[in-house]
Structure 1
Amino acid sequence: MYIRAKTSENMKKTLYLVRHATAEDGGNTPMFRDFDRELTSSGIIEAARMGKFLATKGVQFDLILSSAAERAKATAKIFAEQLHYDADAILLDEGLYGGGPRSYLAAVNQIDENISKVAIFGHNPDITFFAEYLTRADIGGTMDKASVIGFEFEDIQWAAVSSKMASFLAHYSPQTISF
């Protein structure tokens, strides 16, 4: 179970799904592992810009979960910095890298009930499929790099979250935000 000491004031829960920012191309080098791909300079800028945008919206997280892959971890750390969240408190979940949409659901279902605002940083296509699974809404193809989709759950425990239970809050991408 993912636990971080925070007390929920009400039964409303908020989940943000974040696709990692632009990463270097793995190319065809056999020695290059996809898992180890790092953010490019434009990816770093995308992540910082999106994190700052969320901060201007007053978004805060009680818990940040990230894929253990380098590009997702780096994106989560940059967001954390912009949102004044302790980057050392980011929890890594190995299953979020290549584990399919079910790994995202499993991660959500393990969140402690005292936590009300969560961000999960991951990868396409799984994160897009999971976003659509939560509401059965078409989010417009695939999540852009560094994009964020927010959902809200009323009077539902994390352990009970399943298909069509979320209310759509917002969809932001580096190409559509301005502040």
Structure 2
Amino acid sequence: MKRTLYLVRHAKAEDRASFQRDHDRELVPEGIMAAARIGRHLADQGIKPDFLISSTANRARDTGKVMAEQLHIDPEKMVLEPKLFDGGPKAYIAAINGVDQHCGSVMLFGHNPDISYFAEYLTHADVGSMSKGAVAIIEFEDLDWAAVSGRTGHLIDLISPKKMKES
């Protein structure tokens, strides 16, 4: 069974104010629109992930909610994983390895630099630094989620809001 992972870096958020915790930063209107545009683009391609996982940070969670709405998925079904905020790549692999084997596709919402490192770790492709709101699409052939690890995936596409504006 082929499995597909959609790694999504949160969309553009407000700058961190001196009194504000990084975890609590909100999406700016431009970020909300970019997340909606990417979500609609994926929906137009017939993409509808079986499972959604997000960091608990406001900007990642809200990116997930906006995209879920565009993908016609109940945003309340998204699972929040606190370790995806500042937990490093190990938190990302643990989140993916724990996905139910009946799920064929997963969308994970997280943060840089961890999400970019994770995409490169899984695929050994030169992803670079994923832009805000970007989606890396990775496929795994005949592999259970529990067996996903370094160099087991193939980068299928890297979609960014900037590229979508240009097309």
Partners of 1:148 and 1:168 lie apart in 2 by 11
What's the counterpart of residue 5 of structure 1? none
Q: Structure 2 stretches of 5 or more lacking a match? A: none
> Alignment identity in percent?
50
Partners of 1:135 and 1:46 lie apart in 2 by 25
What's the counterpart of residue 176 of structure 1? 163
Q: Secondary structure at the match of 2:164?
A: coil
Partners of 1:121 and 1:168 lie apart in 2 by 17
What's the counterpart of residue 84 of structure 2? 96
Partners of 1:155 and 1:52 lie apart in 2 by 29
TM-score for both structures, normalised by structure 1 = 0.91
User: What letter is aligned with 1:39?
Assistant: L
TM-score for both structures, normalised by structure 2 = 0.97
Structure 1 residue 172 displacement after superposition: 0.2
User: Could you say which structure has the higher helix fraction?
Assistant: 2
User: What letter is aligned with 2:10?
Assistant: H
Structure 1 residue 65 displacement after superposition: 0.2
Structure 1 residue 144 displacement after superposition: 0.3
Structure 1 residue 156 displacement after superposition: 0.6
User: What letter is aligned with 2:91?
Assistant: S
After TM superposition, the runs of 4+ consecutive aligned structure 1 residues lying more than 3 A away are none
Aligned residue pair count = 166
What's the counterpart of residue 14 of structure 1? 4
User: What letter is aligned with 1:21?
Assistant: A
1:160 aligned onto 2:147: yes
**Could you tell me which of 125, 129, 146 is aligned with 1:142?**
129
Partners of 1:114 and 1:80 lie apart in 2 by 20
Structure 1 residue 168 displacement after superposition: 1.3
What's the counterpart of residue 6 of structure 1? none
Structure 1 residue 57 displacement after superposition: 1.2
Partners of 2:154 and 2:31 lie apart in 1 by 29
Partners of 1:129 and 1:165 lie apart in 2 by 14
Q: Secondary structure at the match of 1:176?
A: helix
Q: Structure 1 stretches of 5 or more lacking a match? A: 1-10
